[in-house]
A and B are shown apart, each in its own frame.
Chain A
Amino acid sequence: MNPIINNDDTVQLQELTQNAYAKKIPLRIFGSDTKSFYGNKIQGHPLCLVNHVGIVDYEPAELVLTARAGTKLREIEALLHSAGQMLAFEPPYFGEEATWGGTVACGFSGPRRPYAGALRDSILGVRMINGKGEQLRFGGKVIKNVAGYDASRLMAGALGTLGILLDISVKVIPRPQLEMTLVLEQTPEEAITYMNTLAGGPVPLSAAAYVDGQVLIRLSGTQAAVQAAAVKISGQEHEPSSSFWQQLKEHSHPFFSTETPLWRLSLLPGSPMLKIPGDWMLDWGGAQRWLKTNEPANLIRDAVQAAGGHATLFRQGELKDQQMKDGENTPVFHPLSKPLASVHEKLKTAFDPEYILNRNQLYT
């Protein structure tokens, strides 16, 4: 492993932001642009984070890591790996060069999410620059901290619209001794029941997904625990355990190779299959569902909302949305109720009064 480069770019980034604030210049914040497909399309003066790099602090015995936003995710994961640890939320990369800041700003979590927590659950603190160019620190490097509002977890998934992330501290966890994946032939309905039944019992579950007539269950833990559980669960062992989950997490599974628009549905894990025509893949034990379909956005969103969930247009593909006027795009994120949208707007203004940070990327 090459040593990770260290460079603190705070001063330059802050100057740029202060200047943009003074002149009301919208900024487009990015790292390696591996996830630029995600969110509403935006314009802005480029503000690149890839030179703000390095591990600020990592003490394996504390289970806490702090890294600068431009640091490569793969370098962070390799470092943790060498100490027998890992990120609990199993982040998707969507590209080799994925950075730490982009990962947090997008707030994606991988298959382990329902059992080990989301990205936001791991966040302990951030250092950031707000839309006025002020440098701020929230949270910290300790596991428990309730001093002040939890502004740091608020940054997870905010797509940089509330602040430019400089350093992010997270809690990390020990790597399990053993992982094993079991496969069973099932219908989607059977799979939903099965995944939720397992999750309700004492099983060291770390992932559960359904695709193409098969349910896949991953067990993680000590050797003793995984082997004891595997005996109780039926199913064929799938080898190597990691390959399917890697493909699912990175969307390199054949399911995802398509130009059809891809929707991400967040639902109660036990929700029955929704009657929207299209191809389905279920992750997170049923709580995150991928849907490939050409159906119109409002039909999808109405059905998901009626089931209590929300729908994100994850990848546009070749979407032709009859509902939208020429030149308009289908909103990527689920529309908010009026009072909720108003809180979003006020919060955005509280952090970024001139709307210079990734303007319109989340909501317009």
Chain B
Amino acid sequence: MSENRNTLSKQFLQFLPDNAVLTHNEDLHPYECDGLSAYRQVPLVVVIPETIEHIVRIVNICRKTNTPIVCRGAGTSVSGGALPLENGVLLSLAKFNRILNIDPVNRLACVQPGVRNLAISQATQSYGLYYAPDPSSQIACSIGGNVAENAGGVHCLKYGLTVHNILQLKIVTIEGELLTLGGSGLDGPGYDLLALLTGSEGMLGIIVEIVVKLLPVPECASVVLAAFDEIEHAGNAVTEIIASGIIPAGLEMMDRHATRAAEEYVHAGYPDNAAAILLCELDGIKEEVSAQISQVKDILLKHRAVQTRIAKDEVERQLLWAGRKGAFPAVVRLAPDYYCMDGTIPRRKLAFVLNRISELSEEYQLAIANVFHAGDGNLHPLILYDANKPGELHRSEELGGKILELCLEVGGTITGEHGVGVEKLNQMCVQFDTLELSQFHAIKHAFDPDELLNPGKAVPSLHRCAELGAMHVHEGKLPFPDIERF
């Protein structure tokens, strides 16, 4: 192992400075996990390149020595996507942190992958433009990581996910080729590889440059808070707001647990006895927003909101959102560890699923707080546990699995925006059958035949699924018994 480490690092040091090739244990430890800290692994070597040329050379060395590569942006993934491999190189994009060009006329910015999400909107603000997808982690996460995960955010209901807000990507393939995907306008020639790469979790190529789309900052934004005595009422209000023909800029829900925690943490003025609160934001032209906000308020009251409050100014609006954005850290304070789920369901099943989750919480004797993107049906149940208590981690993982299967049962998906990573591999065996998984592997092989880019993540091996017994086995026989099971 250490021999391997030495020969590799020697090759990297031929073109990288000393501080860009890390091999000592104390230097490697900060990279041992991403935001899913239950999984940890120290990599063989960490490299921190500064140019595309560096990346090409690193890739060439890794390909020739059959060394796997895991990319890392800011390491905020909550599915273990950036978890290193014991025998692999961890490639950090931290030094790719420059905004290369802002083009206000064409409303786009060309950025390096290590640029933080929020930094883009900050840099373009003076042009009256911004980058719409706003994950809660936006002060920390990188745009490259956003593309790799197809990240979403509070405003994605109206403005779309990462895939809807990027125009072009440059990637380095495992062959060491630099490819441009997408066009300079609104599309590129050939297959839509831009869409395919988005959300591919670092498995198909290394993203080295991104052209993002910028939108004009809305003239005005307004938010209404509503409190409900029953989650069911809040769920129905969400359905009706959408059905009424309004697309809010954001429509977020928090349950009692999360509301209380957020209130104690941020003092946003949330009611402390509500079973659920909704935050509904509308933006656009003044005339439109003021008409729609009263329409929304009527719908909320019709669905028995016990309290509604329209932020009277920007300060109050920011405060109401601060509570929502601080909900994760607030809830996390309540327990030594937490486990964040990410299923998406059809909106009309919200109330049913939330009730079922609270039953599961009781069954497993683990508290669950719910803070989520209600408008697009993307749930984020936070399971609270204590890893030091024997069996709790295992129980919380099992409970998490149950919740995801529940999402599938009602016609949803196991991950809306956090990605599969290492975390949801088993549930992938439930969501997809053997043929579909094989097609995913074939896509992977079209880009990376030797499986050197982030191997073992995102798509489970057929072998794993077979062992799990979750495969759709017909008459006790696997389809295509002649295909190698890896």
Indicate which residue in A59, A143, A148, A174 contacts B436 across the interface (CB closer than 8 Å): A148
Task: Give residues in B with beta carbon < 8 Å to A.
Answer: 103-107, 127-129, 149-150, 152, 156-157, 160-161, 163-164, 173, 175, 177-180, 183-193, 195-196, 198-200, 203-204, 216-219, 239-240, 242-243, 245-247, 284-288, 291-292, 344-348, 373, 376-378, 411-420, 424, 428, 431-432, 435-436, 439-440, 442-447, 458-459
Which residues of the other chain, B, contact A339 by a CB distance below 8 angstroms?
A: 173, 175, 177-179
Q: Does A45 lie at the interface of the complex (its beta carbon under 8 Å from any beta carbon of B)?
A: no
Subset of 15 A-B contacts with CB under 8 Å: A61-B347, A62-B348, A120-B195, A137-B436, A142-B377, A142-B412, A146-B149, A149-B204, A153-B163, A200-B127, A228-B285, A228-B287, A270-B103, A343-B173, A347-B446
* B-contacting 9-mer, from A16-24, A68-76, A111-119, A235-243: A111-119
When the two chains form their complex, are residues A140 and B411 in contact, meaning their CB atoms are under 8 A apart?
Answer: yes
- Residues facing B in A102-140 (CB within 8 A) are 107, 113-114, 117-118, 120-121, 130, 134-138, 140
Which residues of the other chain, B, contact A228 by a CB distance below 8 angstroms?
A: 285-288
When the two chains form their complex, are residues B443 and A153 in contact, meaning their CB atoms are under 8 A apart?
Answer: no
When the two chains form their complex, are residues A266 and B195 in contact, meaning their CB atoms are under 8 A apart?
Answer: no
Q: Does A151 lie at the interface of the complex (its beta carbon under 8 Å from any beta carbon of B)?
A: yes
A157 and B150 alpha carbons, distance in the complex (Å): 21
- Interface 1/0 per residue, A36-77 and B, CB below 8 Å: 000000000000000000000001111110000000000000
Give the Cβ gap from B160 to chain A, nearest Cβ, in Å.
Answer: 7
When the two chains form their complex, are residues A225 and B186 in contact, meaning their CB atoms are under 8 A apart?
Answer: no
A188 and B419 alpha carbons, distance in the complex (Å): 45
When the two chains form their complex, are residues B183 and A309 in contact, meaning their CB atoms are under 8 A apart?
Answer: yes
Q: How large is the interface on A (under 10, 10 to 19, 20 to 34, 35 or more residues)?
A: 35 or more
Q: Looking at A113, A137, A340, A346, which has the most chain B CB atoms within 10 Å of its CB? A: A340
When the two chains form their complex, are residues B377 and A146 in contact, meaning their CB atoms are under 8 A apart?
Answer: no
A199 and B284 alpha carbons, distance in the complex (Å): 14
When the two chains form their complex, are residues A149 and B156 in contact, meaning their CB atoms are under 8 A apart?
Answer: no
Which residues of the other chain, A, contact B186 by a CB distance below 8 angstroms?
A: 113-114, 118, 266, 269, 284, 287-288
Which residues of the other chain, A, contact B187 by a CB distance below 8 angstroms?
A: 118, 157, 266
A140 and B377 alpha carbons, distance in the complex (Å): 13
Which residues of the other chain, B, contact A270 by a CB distance below 8 angstroms?
A: 103, 105-106
A333 and B190 alpha carbons, distance in the complex (Å): 8
Indicate which residue in A107, A114, A142, A346 contacts B344 across the interface (CB closer than 8 Å): A142
Could you list 8 further interchain pairs (A-B, Cβ under 8 angstroms) beyond the known A142-B416, A270-B105, A349-B446?
A142-B411, A144-B152, A149-B204, A149-B443, A201-B216, A202-B217, A204-B285, A228-B287
A347 and B185 alpha carbons, distance in the complex (Å): 24
A288 and B186 alpha carbons, distance in the complex (Å): 8
Given contacts A142-B346, A146-B419, A199-B107, contact A269 B287 (CB under 8 A): no
Give the Cβ gap from B204 to chain A, nearest Cβ, in Å.
Answer: 8
When the two chains form their complex, are residues B105 and A267 in contact, meaning their CB atoms are under 8 A apart?
Answer: no
When the two chains form their complex, are residues B196 and A151 in contact, meaning their CB atoms are under 8 A apart?
Answer: yes
When the two chains form their complex, are residues B440 and A148 in contact, meaning their CB atoms are under 8 A apart?
Answer: yes
Q: Looking at A84, A149, A173, which has the most chain B CB atoms within 10 Å of its CB? A: A149
When the two chains form their complex, are residues A222 and B419 in contact, meaning their CB atoms are under 8 A apart?
Answer: no
Q: Name A224's closest neighbour in chain B (CB-CB).
A: B287
Q: Name A60's closest neighbour in chain B (CB-CB).
A: B243
A138 and B433 alpha carbons, distance in the complex (Å): 11
Which residues of the other chain, B, contact A158 by a CB distance below 8 angstroms?
A: 191-192
- Interface 1/0 per residue, A203-239 and B, CB below 8 Å: 1100000000000000001101101110000000000
Q: Name A307's closest neighbour in chain B (CB-CB).
A: B184
When the two chains form their complex, are residues A202 and B105 in contact, meaning their CB atoms are under 8 A apart?
Answer: no
Which residues of the other chain, B, contact A351 by a CB distance below 8 angstroms?
A: 439, 442
When the two chains form their complex, are residues B199 and A150 in contact, meaning their CB atoms are under 8 A apart?
Answer: yes
A284 and B186 alpha carbons, distance in the complex (Å): 9
Q: Name A338's closest neighbour in chain B (CB-CB).
A: B177
Given contacts A136-B439, A344-B191, contact A150 B150 (CB under 8 A): yes
Give the Cβ gap from B223 to chain A, nearest Cβ, in Å.
Answer: 18
A156 and B15 alpha carbons, distance in the complex (Å): 42
Which residues of the other chain, A, contact B163 by a CB distance below 8 angstroms?
A: 121, 150, 153
Given contacts A140-B412, A200-B105, A202-B217, contact A61 B442 (CB under 8 A): no
Which residues of the other chain, B, contact A312 by a CB distance below 8 angstroms?
A: 189
Indicate which residue in B192, B198, B245, B418 contacts A174 across the interface (CB closer than 8 Å): B245
When the two chains form their complex, are residues A63 and B411 in contact, meaning their CB atoms are under 8 A apart?
Answer: no
- Residues facing B in A287-307 (CB within 8 A) are 287-288, 307
Q: Looking at A146, A148, A202, A310, which has the most chain B CB atoms within 10 Å of its CB? A: A146
Given contacts A225-B285, A347-B446, contact A288 B439 (CB under 8 A): no
A340 and B180 alpha carbons, distance in the complex (Å): 8
Which residues of the other chain, A, contact B431 by a CB distance below 8 angstroms?
A: 147-148
Give the Cβ gap from B261 to chain A, nearest Cβ, in Å.
Answer: 24
When the two chains form their complex, are residues B439 and A145 in contact, meaning their CB atoms are under 8 A apart?
Answer: no
A135 and B103 alpha carbons, distance in the complex (Å): 44
Indicate which residue in B106, B216, B240, B440 contacts A202 across the interface (CB closer than 8 Å): B216
Q: Name B196's closest neighbour in chain A (CB-CB).
A: A154
When the two chains form their complex, are residues A140 and B198 in contact, meaning their CB atoms are under 8 A apart?
Answer: no
When the two chains form their complex, are residues B446 and A269 in contact, meaning their CB atoms are under 8 A apart?
Answer: no
Give the Cβ gap from A363 to chain B, nearest Cβ, in Å.
Answer: 7
- Residues facing B in A309-353 (CB within 8 A) are 309-310, 312, 333-334, 336-337, 339-340, 343-344, 346-347, 349-351
Q: Name A205's closest neighbour in chain B (CB-CB).
A: B216
Which residues of the other chain, A, contact B447 by a CB distance below 8 angstroms?
A: 343, 346
Q: Does A276 lie at the interface of the complex (its beta carbon under 8 Å from any beta carbon of B)?
A: no
Which residues of the other chain, A, contact B459 by a CB distance below 8 angstroms?
A: 148-149
A149 and B447 alpha carbons, distance in the complex (Å): 12
When the two chains form their complex, are residues A340 and B179 in contact, meaning their CB atoms are under 8 A apart?
Answer: yes
Which residues of the other chain, A, contact B175 by a CB distance below 8 angstroms?
A: 339
Q: Does A186 lie at the interface of the complex (its beta carbon under 8 Å from any beta carbon of B)?
A: no
When the two chains form their complex, are residues B346 and A141 in contact, meaning their CB atoms are under 8 A apart?
Answer: yes
When the two chains form their complex, are residues A146 and B418 in contact, meaning their CB atoms are under 8 A apart?
Answer: yes
A145 and B408 alpha carbons, distance in the complex (Å): 12
